[in-house]
Amino acid sequence: MKICLYGSGSRKIDPKYTNCAYELGREIAKHGHSLVFGGGDTGMMGACAKGVHDNNGTSIGIAPEWIGNFEPLCKQCDEFIYVDSMDERKKKFLENSDAFIITPGGIGTLDEFFEIITLRKLKQHDKEIIVFNIEGFFDKMLEMIDEMSEKGFLYKQEELFKKVDTINEIFEII
Task: pLDDT tens for the chain, 174 residues: list them.
Answer: 999 999 999 999 999 999 999 999 999 999 999 999 999 999 999 999 999 999 999 999 999 989 888 888 999 999 999 999 999 999 999 999 999 999 999 999 999 999 999 999 999 999 999 999 999 999 999 999 989 888 988 866 668 999 999 999 999 999
Predicted local confidence at residue 158, as pLDDT: 65
Give the contacts of 129 (CB within 8 A, at least 6 positions apart).
99, 100, 102, 113, 116, 117, 120, 160, 161, 162
Do 167 and 24 touch, CB atoms closer than 8 A? yes
Q: Residues for the chain: how many in total?
A: 174
- pLDDT of 71 reads 83
List the alpha helices (DSSP H) in 31-138.
Answer: 43-54, 86-95, 107-121
Instruction: Determine the pLDDT at residue 156.
Output: 62
* Rounded CA separation 134/90 (Å): 23
Whether the full predicted model's pTM is greater than 0.75, yes or no, is yes
Do residues 20 and 48 lie in contact, with contact meaning Cβ atoms separated by under 8 Å?
A: no
Give, in degrees to the nearest 5, the angle at Cα 110 between 82 and 68.
30
- What local confidence, expressed as pLDDT, does residue 157 receive? 61
- 29 three-class SS: helix
